[in-house]
Amino acid sequence: MGNYLLDDLVMDKARIELRKTPEGLNLLFSGTIDSQNSDILLSPFFDGVHKKIIEKGIKHVDLDFTKLEFLNSRGIKNIVRWILFIPQVPEENSYRIKMIACKHREWQATSLKMLTIIAPAFVTIQVR
């Protein structure tokens, strides 16, 4: 996406693409995030996305995991860290996240559903 927000994140076996939508922003996850060093890339990436969402006044963000085969605990930890920032943002700058999971990948429905508990006012899940 480059000029609008940030560049897509390309990892060894995974990719996170940023796409502007009429409703806000879509992050499309694909591949496998299983590296023990994923923090090195994910943490600054999600920090940057969070900052740009606030700067641009985006109110709705979709995290589409339907093409993601696996997400390890370090990857989940980085998403949790990002989610925990949202309630700290002033109300006029806050935004909502909808996680989109694939019904054919059981780990997504269970693991991602648990993430909605962290900030239920800001995070929802849709299983397709």
Residue 94: exposure state from Cβ atoms within 10 A (0-12, 13-18, ≥19): middle
Give me the pLDDT at residue 1, please.
44
Report the greatest alpha carbon distance in the chain.
Answer: 37
Kindly give the confidence (pLDDT) of every residue in the chain, 128 residues in length, as a single tens digit, with 9 standing for 90 and above. Answer: 444 568 999 999 999 999 999 999 999 999 999 988 888 999 999 999 999 999 999 999 999 999 999 999 999 999 999 999 999 999 999 999 999 999 999 999 889 999 999 999 999 999 99
Q: Is the entire prediction scored with pTM above 0.75?
A: yes
Query: In 10 A of CB 102, how many CB atoms?
Result: 18
| 8 A C-beta contact, residue 33 and residue 24 | no
| Distance between CA atoms of residues 37 and 21, nearest Å | 30
